Amino acid sequence: MAKVEIYSWVTCPYCKKAKALLDAKNIEYTVHNITGNDPERIKMIERTGGASSVPQIFINDIHYGGCDDIHALDAKGELDGLLNA
């Protein structure tokens, strides 16, 4: 099973949508809540190479982008392979 991490804000609707997709697939993931957490936000920006919006999603330590990105991977039939690697 893949290691999945999501950087998110508590009130972010896109974060909730990305988590809902993973929940529907019964995937466990680690949430890094960056609401009011500047050190964690800085770490996220460093890991993404500059992306500062949320969510930011990593699968096996590889950055795959945000909510739209993982939904696009799912629509192309590629997400399940990444999550089950």
Residue 1 pLDDT level (bands cut at 50, 70, 90): confident
CATH number at residue 54: 3.40.30.10
pLDDT beyond 90 at 85:
no
* Residue pLDDT, tens place only, 20-58: 999 999 999 999 999 999 999 999 999 999 999 999 999
Query: What is the total count of domains within the chain?
Result: 1
Is the backbone peptide bond immediately before 39 cis, with ω within 30 degrees of 0? Answer: no
Domain region containing 54: 4-83
Full-model pTM: 0.95
Banded pLDDT at 10 (limits 50, 70, 90):
very high
